[in-house]
Amino acid sequence: MQTRLAVIVLAAGKSTRFKSEKTKVLHELCGKPMIDWVLDAVVPLKPVQVIVVYGTHSTALMEHYDNGHGGLPVDFVLQEPTLGTAHALIQCRDALQADITHLLVLPGDAPLVTTEQLGSLQTAVAQPEVVHAVLTAVVAAPGDLGRVIRDRDNPDLAGRIVEAHEASAEELAVNEINTGIYLFDRKVFAHLDQAAQQFGASEKKGEYYLPDAVRVAPTLAVQAADFMMPVGVNDREQLSDAEQVLLNRLRRYWMSEGVTFRLPETTYLHADVRLAPDVEIGPSCVLTGATKIGRGTRLVQGCLLEHCIIGANCELRHVRGLESIIEDNVSAGPYVNMRPGTVIRHDCKIGNFVETKNADIGEGSKLPHLQYIGDATLGKGCNIGAGTIFCNYDGVQKLHTTLGDGVFIGSNSALQGGITLGDEAYVAMASAITRDVPAGALAIGRARQENKDDYVRKLKERLEHRKDKAQGKLNAEEPGGGKS
């Protein structure tokens, strides 16, 4: 008979150790909610049905998966009250499609599980004498995890799974642990009913647990290859530990794809980041969201890029970019702040202490240092002098400034928002430009320089006189008592 697989993700736990208003399975690791990592691992197995078991405190999961996941619809089953993992699975009995033959049951807080590990369970239950399978792992420090006690007559089978607080000293010495991941035949519901009648609820919490099914039906113990701790993420420290594992996986993957990392342990990146071959990532870089970086680009140090698209053969130093685009062959930094809506066309040079926002910087333009370019369109080959400010806000609305090709702006100038400078227009340094500038024209917006001869000496005398008067040293009877 053809296997028809349903995936059941248990996510009704109360997450008390997280001390969070948000259900723990929606806390993110490398930019992706914990439970998404779990579902990413099961999608390649091509399940017929996906069910998420949620609790009254985790209703946000329904909105999160409103459009399904990985092309698969997601069904929901409420567990209330929460009386253990076996009770959670039993709530799914009536929600299963009629043609389902097997159930892959796993916790929503196991982001480190891989498709390969889950696939090993499918291979195991193909054996005719096996009804169920449980994924196990051998670890150096099992701690409070449940121990897998092998069947004495058939060591391939799990005879019992014993919780650490109920285990004997001999059982605590066992280092094979239960991962909480099972592949059950659909007959598991009958087995759980039998276990409930035979063993009842746990004495400590009055709950019903999935390991009880192991005690009433032949269950193969399948040791996972390369299983990484923690098994389940139960607190913020384990969240951090799990994220480190995922970060290492991501960095190793991109290295295998031709990316160089300098001090890779200092690079933080999200799962949706895409890197081309020959990209080089220097120390202390943070790449998040759907950031993409083109071939041959070098992030020298200290770059933070969120939802950015960076072209090929660029060099960035200490660049902060949010929802921005850089085309090919651009040099930027150090200390560039690209706010949302920035587009820097190819062959531009962006120097130190430059901020851009909703600005389209034309091909080959230069912003060498100390500029704010907000709400603007620059043509090709523009040169913006140091200290130039685009004054884009009038106190009520943002105003867009347009520069044609080849515009030159002298240092320490201010451009009023909403004006247009034509092709090859020049602006003299220290100008405040408030009107349009025609193509090829020179705009000067400042007072004319005036030189006053011998003014400095007279100024100093006046200042000394003011000082002496303030100190009470001036002889009122002697007119013109100022010091020379």
Q: Are 438 and 456 in contact (CB under 8 A)?
A: no
Q: How far apart are CA 369 and CA 413, in angstroms?
A: 13
| Calpha distance 157→389 (Å, rounded) | 73
Query: How are beta strands 315-317 and 75-78 bridged, if at all?
Result: unpaired
Residues facing residue 371 across a β-bridge: 354
Tokens of 126: 């193909």
Residues 147/216, Cβ–Cβ less than 8 Å: no
Structure tokens at 123: 């291979």
Write the single-letter amino acid at 144. Answer: D
Is 133:220 a contact under the CB 8 Å cutoff?
yes
* Residue 469 tokens, joined: 């008067």
Residue with the two structure tokens 């709950």: 207
**In the 3-class helix/strand/coil scheme, how is 75-98 assigned residue by residue?**
EEEECCCCCCHHHHHHCCHHHCCC
DSSP 8-state symbol, 364: T
Residue whose C-alpha is closest to residue 28's, from 16, 15, 18, 37: 37
Cα–Cα separations (whole angstroms), residue 205 to 189, 214, 385, 395, 398: 21, 20, 72, 62, 61
* Residue 346 among the catalytic residues: no
102 within 8 A of 183, measured Cβ to Cβ: yes
Can you say how many angstroms the Cα of residue 161 is from the centroid of all Cα atoms in its chain? 37
Helices (H), 332-476: 455-470
Q: Which of 57, 307, 346, 369 is catalytic?
A: 369
Helix (H, G, I), strand (E, B) or coil at 453: coil
Q: How many CA atoms lie within 13 A of 373 on its CB side?
A: 35
Beta bridge partners of 383: 366, 408
Q: Tell me the C-alpha distance between 16 and 55, whole Å.
A: 13
Q: 56: closest CA among 76, 33, 36, 79?
A: 79
Residues with Cβ within 8 Å of residue 440, at least 6 apart in sequence:
422, 423, 424, 425
The DSSP symbol for 18 reads: G
The 10 Å Cβ neighbour count of residue 162 is: 18
CA distances to 75, 100, 104 from 95, rounded to whole Å, are 8, 11, 15
Residues taking part in catalysis? 369
